[in-house]
Amino acid sequence: MILVLLLIITLVGGLVAWAISRWNKNACRWLSLIFLFADLAALVILSVRYAGNVGERWFEFVKWSWIPQLGASFELGADGLSLLFLWLTVLLGIFAIISSSGEIQHRVGFFHFNLMLVLVGIIGVFTALDLFLFYFFWELMLVPMYFLISIWGHENRVYAAIKFFIFTQAGGLFMLASILALYFINGHASGIYTFDYEQLLNAPLTASAAIWVMLGFFVGFAVKLPVVPIHTWLPDAHTEAPTAGSVILAGLLLKTGAYGLLRFVLPLFAGAARDIAPAAMILAVVGIVYGAVLAFAQRDIKRLVAYTSISHLGFVLLGIFAGNMFALQGAVIIILAHGLSTGGLFILAGAIQERIHTRDMDKMGGLWATVPRMGGVAMFLALASLGLPGLGNFVGEFLVLLGAWQVSPALTVIASTGFIFSAIYSLWLIQKIFHGPAKQDMQIPDLGIREMAVMCLIMAGIILLGVYPQPMLDSAKPTLKAIQLKFVSAAEKTDVTQ
């Protein structure tokens, strides 16, 4: 029930904010925040309930009839893994709203409505246990995100928005075809036509069918993640989106791809996933190196951060398809830490652009003297991004490499060069913006209380993930364990047949 409440609070919040914006812009911002804090309260209750319910597969579960003719129901469930993603969603939602209050000045109500609607879609994706419902939420994320980019974005926003929409929609349609294939294969075999996740887990798939159906899902999630050959929408979308949009895109939308791989691809098609694991891991390593090299070549701050995302999410993909416990846990920690650190970097980039009206790093320099607080925060986030021990990203990437080593030492060695590259581009970012001679004489205000509050929370989160990740690891563990067991047993089956 709380999960439904979570969706309703967010949706109603968006509608109320839109309605109220006719009279007062600031009231609209505060209202959205209040509703998200209500979400936060709901999450606290959920976490308490989770702590008391360890051992059950879904500690929170609702199932209502929706379209019985199709076998689609309104079915939501949360386990420890979803809980982590939900926390990330609500926190980043709050950060996005706080950080956008300076930038967004026109059509404020519609902006907040779209922002809240994206969050509804994301919360739905992280909790849906019916594949029809999942697809419904999956697509629900797109339209408001498209509006966020195309209405409030920067110079080249229309191009970026359309590219984003078409890439993700194309991926989504492949996934839809796969969902339907799975639905009919299961229906023909068992006579029960249903989109229910638990029932489809036991769908009798032949190996050849499984690989095709799995590929449809994989393409859908890989576009979002993004995996390298189909990543080209990402730099454009992240760069052109308004700050809040970039935060949501990098922090949450990309994570829905990773979540999809963990929740659907590995459990539903363990054998087929195992078959393509080497290829997926190679793509992951290519992404790590390619993203990092291209990040170094950028002059636009937001574009640089966007390419670092490709690199970091390469580690996530590597971890997921390495498939052992270390690697899976590492992937989850990276997802959380990257959400926070990249969110922070985009907020920072937005703050800089708001002050000096450019994102071009060649036109910056020597900013540290003018805005020391901003410099300090940027330094911290850059260090987090390059994987400094003691901060969240390090824990995640270390675990992924540890796990991947057991599968393929060669790929792990190449992947670990990502650490070197990330040091180069992160320090380069700091050097270009904050050090060196000042390019122009600028008198700009430093981060205010509002922005510092957000940054402090983000930094605290990253440190927590870095020094005491155990609660998060424990929360995700039962689910990851189940995934890993399926993955291993699939391997044994193929060994026997060989």
Q: Would you say 161 or 472 has its CB closer to another protein?
A: 161
* List of residues 6+ apart from 103 with CB closer than 8 A: 152, 242, 243, 244, 350, 354
**Angstrom distance (rounded) from CA 299 to CA 212:** 41
Of 28-36, 180-188, 284-292, 309-317: span binding another protein (CB under 8 A): 180-188
Q: Would you say 5 or 173 has its CB closer to another protein?
A: 173
Give the one residue of 101, 103, 169, 296 binding another protein; rule: CB under 8 A.
169
Residue numbers 142-161 binding another protein by CB under 8 A: 142-143, 146-147, 150-151, 158, 161
Of 4-12, 134-142, 325-333, 431-439: span binding another protein (CB under 8 A): 134-142
Q: Would you say 214 or 490 has its CB closer to another protein?
A: 214
Of 65-73, 228-236, 325-333, 401-409: span binding another protein (CB under 8 A): 65-73
Residue 4 near another protein by CB under 8 A: no
Residue type, 317: L
Residue 416 near another protein by CB under 8 A: no
In the complex, the smallest distance separating the C-beta of residue 18 from another protein, rounded to whole angstroms, is 11
In the complex, the smallest distance separating the C-beta of residue 99 from another protein, rounded to whole angstroms, is 23
Residue numbers 182-201 binding another protein by CB under 8 A: 183-184
**Angstrom distance (rounded) from CA 492 to CA 489:** 5
Residue 215 near another protein by CB under 8 A: no
Residue 177 near another protein by CB under 8 A: yes
Residue 174 near another protein by CB under 8 A: yes
Give the one residue of 59, 95, 165, 394 binding another protein; rule: CB under 8 A.
165
Give the one residue of 45, 51, 67, 467 binding another protein; rule: CB under 8 A.
67
Q: Would you say 160 or 333 has its CB closer to another protein?
A: 160
Residue 269 near another protein by CB under 8 A: no
Q: With contact defined as beta carbons under 8 Å apart, do 197 and 131 qualify?
A: yes
Of 168-176, 239-247, 374-382, 405-413: span binding another protein (CB under 8 A): 168-176
Q: Which residues pair with 67 in a beta bridge?
A: 72
Of 140-148, 227-235, 318-326, 457-465: span binding another protein (CB under 8 A): 140-148
Give the one residue of 52, 69, 206, 409 binding another protein; rule: CB under 8 A.
69
Residue 68 near another protein by CB under 8 A: yes
Residue 173 near another protein by CB under 8 A: yes
Q: Would you say 161 or 325 has its CB closer to another protein?
A: 161
Residue 162 near another protein by CB under 8 A: yes
- Could you tell me how many residues of this chain bind another protein (CB under 8 A)? 31
Of 173-181, 227-235, 413-421, 453-461: span binding another protein (CB under 8 A): 173-181
Residue 180 near another protein by CB under 8 A: yes
Which residues of this chain interact with another protein, rule CB under 8 A? 66-70, 106, 135-136, 139-140, 142-143, 146-147, 150-151, 158, 161-162, 165-166, 169-170, 173-174, 176-177, 180-181, 183-184
